[in-house]
Structure 1
Amino acid sequence: MITVVTGASGFVGSAVCRAARAAGHQVLALGRRRAVPADLVGGAPYLSWDLADPTARPALPAPFTRPDAVIHCAGLATDWARPEAFHHGNVLTTRSALAAFPETARFVHLSTASVYDPRRPTVMAREDETDAVSHIDAYGRSKALAEASVRRVRPDAVILRPHAVYGPGDTTLLPRVLQAVRRTPYGQKLFAIGDGSQRLSLTSVVNLVDACLLAAEGKASGTFNITDREPVVLDDVLRQVLTAHDLPATPLYLPLALALPLARTAELLARATRSDRRPRLTVYAVRHLAHERTLDLTAARTHLGYQPAPTDLGPALRRN
């Protein structure tokens, strides 16, 4: 099977490359970095290409001009960037990937559960619960627009929605948990939102990669939630992270009514000073952590044959 993977220099894209190669695919890795270590992409040939820049398109090797599948992992995944950066990194990149491979048999688009409404709990949400969402943050809006582009151009595509992806090589989720630990007059505290009882669906990179390959190799189309087998409780996860890193800290929970104004103030200060540095609190992070965020997996299990493993933070904690 001839497969092109975009975003191959990133955390998820590189993992998809390695797994696809191990599964016997002939893989071309595309990423924005000029070069990457061969083992990062499983020894696949690598081309540097900023998909959002149409003038930068490289010449593709002959087997990959009409691949069997494109797994589109490229995108800007953060809760703090300028709106134009999100549009560039998520919307324009997706439209470029669609235009670059119009004749591919399978198009798999990696989206996010951030397209669900962040203002209310997401309780075992099904995929159609985004239909009437008005997005208040630039990241969620850009990912929703990218999904819309995929549906318009490739109604036969597969769209995958993971939530809180973690695993070996993660540079975002678990590192940010550790960065939230602060020393206070009352000892070290890990600041979090809510009361700790919120249930969360997490997605290991292993489960997400498995879903990508199932989508690329199968015949199903549509949108699918992709998470680990069962939700976890926020406080349990945070304490596991602290224990694994031998940090003598305890979670300190801030109610939404307090955390949200603090986050808004932090964002206003960052914008006023034109800082590119992420504030310690963002409105996006506060809203997403304050409520239950769980996703229903019925569609993925039924139509993709997805059989996820349970949450296991062990390998990620040992390597981060």
Structure 2
Amino acid sequence: MRVAVTGAGGFVGAAVCRGLVAEGHDVVPLTRREWDITTGPMPDPPAVDAVVHCAAAVTDWGPLEPVRRANLDGTRHALATFPTARFVHVSTASVYDPFRATVRAAEEEAPAERFLTGYAATKAAAEQLVLARPGSIVLRPHAVYGPGDPTLLPRVLGAVRGRTLWIVGDGRAAQSLTSVDNLVRAVALACAGGPGGAYNIADAEPVEVGAALRELLAARGLAVRVRGLPSGVAWPVAGALEALFRLVGARKPPRLTRYAISHLAMERTLDLTKARTLLGYSPTPTSFAGAADW
């Protein structure tokens, strides 16, 4: 199968390219150098059987317009560029309601009607474009991690102060995490077949956030204590900090945000029944083995 991969220079896109090549597919990697998806459909696109759309602006802070151009307009342009190819769109579990716990959420519970970030809102809107095309598949991973991770691991390490990592909540909130290897497996299955629609993608079983963080830090060789802050106090403080930072035009978010709280203090677990049944998805458990080299 010949497969085009947008965002091939990014964390997920590069992993998808490696995984598909390993399975014997002919992969056409598309980076920003070959095509800026925000500018319009690609002139003279390659003939492919499937396209995996990984390109996106992944940020929970900053101006909305660049995020909208990349995530919404970019998806529209990708669909127009490959009108007949099987379309596999890498979305996010951030399309679920951030204001309440996500408990073994089924796919029909999203998209939500309210979001904390422009990233989540634009990814939800992009999903609707993709799902309007019959046969297209949307994959919703949560907290993707693994070698080359530019987001989750750096944030965890950056939040450590001395020998302590402060989080919001008691650390017992269950989380469905997604190793990049499991996500690549899901992408390969989606390219090969299965009914169109949205699919949750995660590791085999949820883990408690505090235990997962301790395991990750230990795998990095760090002796760090994970301690909790009451979420009832942290939420209004985070909202006030966000308002202040936006008022002064800060380029970086405050250390405490409502988006972070919504993931650390609330359950975020996904029902994988649909992916297991219709795609044949069989994920491995959460593991941070080898994290010392990430």
Deviations 1:206-250 (A, max 9, x none): 000000010001132111000000001111111112222333321
Q: Secondary structure at the match of 2:186?
A: helix
- The counterpart of 1:52, out of the listed 38, 43, 52, is 38
Alignment partner, residue 92 of structure 1: 73
Offset at residue 131 of structure 1 (A): 5.1
Q: Is the 8 A contact 2:141 2:200 kept in 1?
A: yes
- What does 1:115-264 align with in structure 2 at a 5 Å threshold? 115-130=95-110, 133-152=113-132, 154-183=133-162, 188-264=163-239
Q: Normalising by the residue count of structure 2, what TM-score does the alignment of the two structures yield?
A: 0.95
After superposition, the CA RMSD in angstroms is 1.5
Offset at residue 267 of structure 1 (A): 1.7
- The counterpart of 1:70, out of the listed 51, 57, 61, is 51
Deviations 1:177-199 (A, max 9, x none): 1111113xxxx320111111111
Offset at residue 274 of structure 1 (A): 1.4
Q: Tell me whether 1:82 sits opposite 2:63 in the alignment.
A: yes
Q: Normalising by the residue count of structure 1, what TM-score does the alignment of the two structures yield?
A: 0.88
Residues 136 and 79 of structure 1: CA distance in aligned 2, closer, same or farther (over 3 Å): closer
In 2, Cα distance between equivalents of 1:92 and 1:283: 27
Alignment partner, residue 274 of structure 1: 249
- The counterpart of 1:103, out of the listed 84, 91, 106, is 84
- What does 1:299-318 align with in structure 2 at a 5 Å threshold? 299-315=274-290, 317-318=291-292
Identify unmatched segments of 5+ residues in structure 2.
none
Q: Secondary structure at the match of 2:24?
A: coil
Deviations 1:150-193 (A, max 9, x none): 122x131011000000000101101111111113xxxx320111
The one-letter amino acid of 2:215's match is: Q
Moved over 6 A (4+): none
Q: Secondary structure at the match of 1:50?
A: coil
Identify unmatched segments of 5+ residues in structure 1.
35-47
Q: Tell me whether 1:298 sits opposite 2:273 in the alignment.
A: yes
Deviations 1:20-63 (A, max 9, x none): 1111111111112x3xxxxxxxxxxxxx21101128x4544xxx
Q: Is the 8 A contact 1:121 1:291 kept in 2?
A: yes
The one-letter amino acid of 2:229's match is: L
Q: Tell me whether 1:114 sits opposite 2:88 in the alignment.
A: no
Q: Is the 8 A contact 2:8 2:55 kept in 1?
A: yes
Number of aligned residue pairs: 294
